[in-house]
Structure formats: structure tokens, C-alpha cells
Amino acid sequence: DVVLTQTPPTLSATIGQSVSISCRSSQSLLDSDGDTYLNWLLQRPGQSPQLLIYSVSNLESGVPNRFSGSGSETDFTLKISGVEAEDLGVYYCMQATHAPYTFGAGTKLELK
Amino acid sequence: EVQLVESGGGLVQPGASLKLSCVASGFTFSDYWMSWVRQTPGKTMEWIGDIKYDGSYTNYAPSLKNRFTISRDNAKSTLYLQMSNVRSEDTATYYCTREIGDYWGQGVMVTVSS
């Protein structure tokens, strides 16, 4: 199975600060169809996960553009340019290139 | 508005069977692959499997394929997860998702304990 390693496990930020989360894959997530199925999810406290970014860098409809994703092959990054209070929660990367699909362990974003 | 509403969870004894349901609305259910994902009490996320839009193909996590079965009834816009011979490690919140996670249900808790 593909292992996704997220760092850091916990991130403390002030409102307005820019932060980044890393997700590294144990194998390339470039699919034979040319797409790279690496998504980013946010789970706010007490809520279900919600999709933020799909296929590395595509912003899901309704997601603020302070969120951005980048990367390729095995190294991926989620950046939040100016953290807001509503961004607090746990961020997960997820890959859907290789079955079984797998998730990172999560990065908890909290207020400093 | 897309909605996914799971039901059927609860307290179940080890070795028993349980069937979860997920009723979908707000989109054409029969046009989409659907998945089940679970989250353990420790917050680990695990993909269980998915099913093609017409129900003709399913894909499972190898560790679960002998005990879990995914099915769907497109006439009822409903996704199912049949769990058999459940174990304590199956204790989790179970989510249905559209495709590979563009929409998630609110989740349903399953606790396996004697």
C-alpha cells in the first residue's frame, strides 16, 4: 500500500500567518492517465471531512483561494496564505492513484 | 444541495453482522462512483472500498474484502455496506462519500463490543 507521510503532525499559527503542510508518498502518484490523484481534506472539530483541493492543485468549488496545493510525483504541499479562525482543524492528504486508496495521518492546525 | 445521510450504526457484538445505509440526494446518484471510508477513534482514516455507478464493479481494501460488501440500489439512491464477522478493530465512524471524496456524509458510529 502507498504510505503518505504528513509533516508536521501539529502546526501552531496566529491569525494571518501563512503555513505549509507537507505530504510525501512512498511511491509516485502520477497515474497512467497523466493525472495525479492527490487530494487535501480538512476536518473541522466535530464535522465530517471536506474536500479542499483535488488532483494536487485544483481548488474545490467554494473553497477560499488562500488555500493552494502544489507538488508532483511523491512530494506535495498544501499552503494556507493567511490563516483564519475557520481554518482550524485536522488536514489530511489522500491518494487515489493506487488502490487501496490511503490517507496521511493528519496535521492538526491550532491557534498559537 | 448534495446530501449523504448514513444510518444503521450502533453497538454490535463481536462476530455479528451489520448493514449500513447511505441515502443520497441533490445529484443523480446513478452517475457516480461511491465509496465508504472509516475513521477510527484515534482519527486514522481508512478507505474501505468503492462501487461503480451501475453497481457492476467493486473495489476493496484487501484487509477488508473478505468481510465487507458494498452494494447500491440506484432506484432508491442508496449505498450499502454489509459488514460481517465484525471485530473490535472495526469500531469507527463510517462515512459514505461521492467519488473519491468530493462530498461526505455526516458519518455513523459503529461500536463493536461484548
- pLDDT classification of A112: cutoffs 50, 70, 90: confident
Give pLDDT tens digits for A79-94.
999 999 999 999 999 9
Q: What is the mean pLDDT of residues B27-48?
A: 97
Residue among B47, B95, B102 minimizing CB distance to A48: B95
Q: What is the pLDDT of residue A67?
A: 98
Select from A50, A101, A106 the Cβ nearest to the Cβ of B100. A101
Whole-angstrom distance, CA of residue A78 vs CA of residue A70:
7
> Is a pLDDT exceeding 90 seen at residue A8?
yes
Instruction: Check: CB of residue A93 under 8 Å from CB of residue A104.
Output: yes
Instruction: Enumerate the residues of chain A whose CB falls inside 8 A of the CB of residue B106.
Output: 48
Cβ distance of B100 and A94 shorter than 8 Å: yes
pLDDT tens, residue by residue, A15-50: 999 999 999 999 999 999 999 999 999 999 999 999
For testing contact with chain A, the best of B47, B51, B94 (most A CBs within 10 A)? B47
Q: CA triplet A30, B28, A44: central angle to 5 degrees?
A: 60
For A104, name the nearest residue in chain B, comparing CA atoms only: B45
Q: Choosing among B64, B100, B109, which should be mutated to test the A contact, i.e. which has the most A CBs within 10 A?
A: B100
Measured distance CA(A61)–CA(B91) in Å, rounded: 33
pLDDT higher than threshold 90 for residue B39: yes
pLDDT at A24: 98
What residues have CB less than 8 Å from A2, skipping those under 6 apart?
Answer: A25, A26, A27, A29, A95, A97, A98, A102
Please report the pLDDT score of residue B108 as a whole number. Answer: 98
Question: B62 at the A interface (CB within 8 A)?
Answer: yes
Average pLDDT of chain B is 97
Closest-CA distance of chain B to residue A103, Å: 6
**CA distances (Å), A101 to each of A80, A87, B85, B90, B100, in order?**
25, 25, 23, 18, 9
In the prediction, which pLDDT does B100 show? 83
pLDDT category at B66 given cuts 50, 70, 90 is very high
Residues A55-69 have a mean pLDDT of 97
Q: Which pLDDT value is given to residue B12?
A: 97
